[in-house]
Amino acid sequence: MTTYLLVPGFWLGGWAWDAVAAPLRAAGHDVHQVSLALDPGVTASDHVEQLAGLLDGLGDVVLVGHSYAGAVITAAADRLPDRVARLVYVDTGPLPDGMSQADFDGSAPDAPDGMIPIPAEAPAPEPGFDWAIVRERGRAQPVGTATEPVRHGDAWRALPRTAILCSFSAAALSGLAATVPAFALMAGEGWTVRELPTGHWPMFSRPEELASLLTGN
């Protein structure tokens, strides 16, 4: 049995992993679907603290992060590397120390009243995924989770790491890691790269294949 912590990106809760968690549980694994706090005033540091608190009660965890959560799992694992067996980045990666999600995106988000609203349309169309589920079940994202830099040291680098690439290829990653500082930490020893061509939201569009990749199949 493996213990999985599944951490979602912007606007999503633990429910986003339902179709991935089901086959993992059916195979006998212990699966925790994390809902990061999305209350006004919450920051990226708060999310790291929340996740570190969950890790502190577990061991040998496969820590999985999608999109924004890639930065959060990196910082949490850096604090408690002895609790983590592997880091898995789903269409995301570790940001350099001191970089925020807004830095990566290239601009500050539009955030009325300190919250980033769910877009009316999907940021990019994706076969097999209806954005309506995010509009119906998602929540606005606290702006501090996008604008606060995420801090980490080097302890997480000793952990095995898997990148599951969905909206870009391994070849594209190789080029980005060599030329773009935001992608620099996604190269080097310790990485296993897998491709799942679909789009940025594979937990909705190809959940069974994603679950299979999480188990190493």
pLDDT tens readout for residues 162-199: 999 999 999 999 999 999 999 999 999 999 999 999 99
Query: Distance between terminal CA atoms of the chain?
Result: 15
- Whole-angstrom distance, CA of residue 167 vs CA of residue 131: 16
- Whole-angstrom distance, CA of residue 32 vs CA of residue 39: 21
pLDDT tens readout for residues 76-127: 999 999 999 999 999 999 999 999 999 999 888 989 899 999 999 988 878 8
DSSP string, 130-164: -THHHHHH--PEETHHHHSPB---SGGGGS-EEEE
- Whole-angstrom distance, CA of residue 41 vs CA of residue 38: 9
Residue the block writes with tokens 């996604």 = 186
Between helix 207-214 and helix 18-26 the angle, nearest 10°, is: 50
Residue the block writes with tokens 């991935």 = 20
- Whole-angstrom distance, CA of residue 114 vs CA of residue 137: 20
Does this model's pTM top 0.95?
A: yes
**How many CB atoms neighbour CB 216 within 10 A?**
11
